[in-house]
Amino acid sequence: MPDNAPLQTTTAAAGLSRYGQIAAALQARIVSGDWAPGSAIPAEGALAREFGIALGTIRQAIAVLVQQGLLERVQGKGTFVRRGLSGASLMRFFRFGGADGAPVVPRSEILSCRAVRLDKAMAARFGLASGARGLAISRRRWLEQTPRLLESIWLPLPRCEALQQLPPAQWGDLLYPLLGSACGVTVHRAVDEVTFRTLAADEAALLMLPDAHPCAVVTRHAFDLAGHCIEYRLTRGDAFAFRYTADVR
Amino acid sequence: MPDNAPLQTTTAAAGLSRYGQIAAALQARIVSGDWAPGSAIPAEGALAREFGIALGTIRQAIAVLVQQGLLERVQGKGTFVRRGLSGASLMRFFRFGGADGAPVVPRSEILSCRAVRLDKAMAARFGLASGARGLAISRRRWLEQTPRLLESIWLPLPRCEALQQLPPAQWGDLLYPLLGSACGVTVHRAVDEVTFRTLAADEAALLMLPDAHPCAVVTRHAFDLAGHCIEYRLTRGDAFAFRYTADVR
């Protein structure tokens, strides 16, 4: 279970190797937006000259950020700042209806969105004190005429304040592109934990499933570029539609 | 869903880059057992001289095999041939009882083991013709006094013939070390697909759970060093004990 501590520790220069220090400096450019998501970073030779280091050292620093998923190498094209997660990825846990396997973005219906006082555990996830303010969102996701997923989403305030000003009808179907455009937050990483239980009566009604039907629960912690938790989400869906593949080496 | 085609294609030299050809040559040494699991490979400089190539090229070739999981680098110690999977890893999908999180090997009870004719789909997984012979094993796994997992395992014959000669009482709790010692098969990779359904009456009785209780089903394809499917396994366990964490970047 991830706690609130930032997950990338390259920001602390103390005790770091030379390439670790350079990696921290490059990460700062990504976090600040100086290097924008989707853009190419300067050539390795230019960076080596700028920092006054060997080409091998800049390559090691870049390898660290590739490994962290902040940068990606594109064969024959260069090294790019990775775009944030699209947010559609919870669908990878389920297979509803059509077997063609094409990625689908379910339609989003915002059931409620309100500012709340966060309890101690929720506040701690965001690095906030108990009683800090947050946004609590209830969302239902549809595929064609069937409700498929039920989501309870918590976001920290004031960081996601801009979302409150925007009518839910203008949110679109994906949360993460909205967090980017409205709040300047890039969601870079998510940790999903899957468990199973049965649906409560209110959940079953919203998902149009029988009371006490088995459901998969995906508990998500999402993180920004600096490694801070920026979203906590509980997603419920029909257990019998769950399908997930893991590769073990 | 993996099909029967070998998953590592570095064995075909045609159309490969220079480092790809070297990677194929190094893979052949691992598959043949010339480089044994757990052993260190020769120094990069020695390999570069042996193949008459630049140090950078041998490093690229080694990186390919590290990425495939055939080799692993150990900081300050060198590069090693990875040992096969231990076989205990299905437990990572479940959390039974004690919350201390220590890895546990459940006790194995072989319910049956018999040679069978494989149907077309099963034979195809192993690259065999319909009607080829295989070993069908039914196994129950216990933690203390409770049966936790029910497994149906298929292995190809004659490759796993040696298992038939060995009384189940001598098998021990883990299959993969046994496949290594008795049959010379190293299980290098497994692809697990998780779905959910309810237990059939006979399954429920063996797991001491109520009839039609929700269960997690893990469908495993396991592969040897050459990328051939060497095991197909269906594992069933209590859905409410399922717990799995996925990291998305």
Where in chain A are the domains? 18-81, 87-241
For B224, the closest chain A residue by CA position comes to A249
B12 sits in the region (left: phi over 0; alpha: psi -120 to 50; else beta) called beta
Average pLDDT, chain B: 87
pLDDT, greater one: B246 or B118: B118
What percent of chain B lies above the pLDDT cut of 90? 55
Cβ contact B196–A216 (<8 Å)? yes
Residue pair A106/A174 in contact (Cβ under 8 Å)? The answer is: no
Residue pair A91/A243 in contact (Cβ under 8 Å)? The answer is: no
Segments in chain B forming alpha helices (H): 18-31, 44-51, 55-67, 120-125, 161-165, 175-183, 201-207
Reported as a pLDDT band with limits 50, 70 and 90, residue A92 is: confident
pLDDT attached to residue A13? 45
pLDDT attached to residue B85? 78
Reported as a pLDDT band with limits 50, 70 and 90, residue B6 is: very low
pLDDT attached to residue B87? 59
Query: Would you call A7 an interface residue with chain B, using a CB distance cutoff of 8 Å?
Result: no
Q: Is the peptide bond before A6 cis (omega within 30 degrees of 0)?
A: no
Calpha distance B146→B151 (Å, rounded): 15
Residues 6 or more apart in contact with residue A249 via CB below 8 angstroms: B68, B69, B82, B85, B188, B189
Closest Cα partner for B60 from B14, B13, B19? B19
Calpha distance A186→A231 (Å, rounded): 11
Calpha distance A245→B122 (Å, rounded): 19
Residue B86 pLDDT greater than 70, yes or no: no
Residue A97 pLDDT greater than 60, yes or no: yes
pLDDT attached to residue A101? 56
Query: Would you call A196 an interface residue with chain B, using a CB distance cutoff of 8 Å?
Result: yes
Residue B63 pLDDT greater than 50, yes or no: yes
Cβ contact A190–B89 (<8 Å)? no
SS3 A120: helix
Residue B136 pLDDT greater than 60, yes or no: yes
Q: What is the pLDDT of residues B188-239, one digit of tens each?
A: 889 999 999 999 999 999 999 999 999 999 999 999 988 899 999 999 999 9
Cβ contact B242–A193 (<8 Å)? no
Cβ contact B240–A197 (<8 Å)? yes
Closest Cα partner for A116 from A101, A137, A99, A133? A133
Q: Which amino acid is at A177?
A: P
Compute the average pLDDT of residues B75-89.
Answer: 79
The reply to whether ipTM tops 0.95 is no
Reported as a pLDDT band with limits 50, 70 and 90, residue B105 is: confident
Segments in A35-100 forming alpha helices (H): 44-51, 55-67
Q: What is the pLDDT of residues B16-45, one digit of tens each?
A: 788 888 998 998 888 888 888 889 999 999
Query: Would you call B205 an interface residue with chain A, using a CB distance cutoff of 8 Å?
Result: no
Which residue among B85, B193, B214 places its CB closest to the CB of A239? B214
Reported as a pLDDT band with limits 50, 70 and 90, residue A56 is: confident
**pLDDT-wise least confident of A50-54, A97-101, A138-142, B46-50:** A97-101
Residue A100 pLDDT greater than 80, yes or no: no
pLDDT, greater one: A210 or A2: A210
Residues 6 or more apart in contact with residue B157 via CB below 8 angstroms: B115, B132, B133, B134, B135
pLDDT attached to residue A67? 81
Average pLDDT, chain A: 87
Query: Would you call B130 an interface residue with chain A, using a CB distance cutoff of 8 Å?
Result: no
Residue A4 pLDDT greater than 70, yes or no: no
Calpha distance B139→A137 (Å, rounded): 46
Query: Would you call B191 an interface residue with chain A, using a CB distance cutoff of 8 Å?
Result: yes
pLDDT attached to residue A3? 41
pLDDT attached to residue B15? 63
Q: What is the CATH number of domain A18-81?
A: 1.10.10.10
Query: Would you call A59 an interface residue with chain B, using a CB distance cutoff of 8 Å?
Result: no
Q: What is the pLDDT of residues A13-34, one digit of tens each?
A: 456 788 888 998 998 888 888 8
Compute the average pLDDT of residues A177-193.
Answer: 90
Compute the average pLDDT of residues A130-142.
Answer: 96
Q: What is the CATH number of domain B87-241?
A: 3.40.1410.10
pLDDT attached to residue B1? 40
For A83, the closest chain B residue by CA position comes to B249
pLDDT attached to residue A86? 67
